[in-house]
Structure 1
Amino acid sequence: MIRVNAEIELDEREIQEDFVRASGPGGQNVNKVSSAVQLRFDVAHSPSLPQPVRDRLLVLAGRRVTQDGVLIIEAERYRSQRRNRDDALERLLALIREACEVETPRRPTRPTLASQKRRLEGKQRRGETKKLRTLKPGSES
């Protein structure tokens, strides 16, 4: 079991890892070894996640989720397969932890009377400044 937080634990069998060849630095090693990791996690059908967390995770993951609700994380940052596996898993856990946080709704507030007065006074001063720039009839520039 992989511990996400105090309430959520993932079963290792829910996570599928595929190893592919990575692009980028690594010399001939890149052409020989499948060091990049494609981690797949079925968000839509995971029994480990509560429904509200599942819904937020699908929204957070965005384009990384397939139409079937499978989250795909690709990790090819490192040259070793082990570090890429750890990186992909850590990114998945971070995404789930972020989905666990419930966003508090914003309560709209009204501007204070003093701030409204400051705003109107500023507009008044600006208008007077602009009024001074107008050319008076009969005077030459």
Structure 2
Amino acid sequence: MPDYEALKAELIFKAVKSSGPGGQHVNKTASKIILNFNLENSHALSEEEKSRISIKLASRITNSGEIILESGETRSQHKNKELVTIRFLQLIKKALKKEKPRKKTRPTKASKLKRLRSKKIKSEKKITRQKPPL
């Protein structure tokens, strides 16, 4: 498991003006936070962790190897910074979590019978829709 405090130290925050409703307040303050994290140059993660993250979060990583998240949910810059940091850490935890291998199971006798009954009912329904033979 990585050191989350060291990860937090590597984060780069940028405040920008937020879009959307909010009247004059939006026009004056930079409350939206953009979080940048350079995965390739991170010292807090091992090479194995970096490779696992790059595979799992391939759609979220830019060509330059950065993960970019943004938050403009609240009017407070500090609250947005907190929210985006929490979201980033959850994203990293989820990417590093090892999935359990699926165990193959056989269908139960009851499920087989249920499937066959439903097939029988469907076939009878379709037979009744046909024109009677002459």
Match of 2:97 among 88, 101, 112: 101
Rg (Cα) greater in structure: 1
Of 4, 7, 14, the match for 1:9 = 4
Which residue in the other structure is 1:87 paired with? 83
- Alignment of 1:33 with 2:62, yes or no, is no
**Residue 50 in 1 paired to residue 46 in 2?**
yes
Cα pair 1:16 1:39 within 8 Å, conserved: yes
Compute the TM-score of the two structures, normalised by the length of structure 1.
0.75
Residues 27 and 117 of structure 1: CA distance in aligned 2, closer, same or farther (over 3 Å): closer
Larger RCO of the pair (alpha carbons < 8 Å, separation 6+): 2
SS, match of residue 91 in structure 1 = helix
One-letter amino acid matched to 1:105: P
- Aligned AA (1:38): I
The structure 2 residue matched to 1:131, chosen from 104, 127, 134, is 127
State the 1:7 CA deviation.
4.8
Between stretches 85-94 and 61-70, larger displacement belongs to 61-70
Q: Is the 8 A contact 2:2 2:44 kept in 1?
A: no
State the TM-score, normalized to the length of structure 2: 0.78
Matched residues in 2 for 1:68 and 1:25: separation?
33
For the Cα contact (< 8 Å) 1:56–1:99, is it kept in 2? Answer: yes
Which residue in 1 is equivalent to 2:106?
A: 110
3-state secondary structure, aligned to 2:99: coil
Given the superposition, is the C-alpha separation of residues 7 and 66 from structure 1 closer, same or farther in structure 2, using an over 3 Å criterion?
closer
Cα offset, 1:53, TM superposition: 3.5
SS of equivalent to 1:49: coil
Q: CA RMSD in A?
A: 2.5
Identity of aligned residues (%): 35
Q: 5+ unaligned residues in a row in structure 1: which ranges?
A: 1-5
Counterpart residue identity of residue 123, structure 1: K
Q: 1:29 and 1:137 mapped to 2: Cα distance?
A: 78
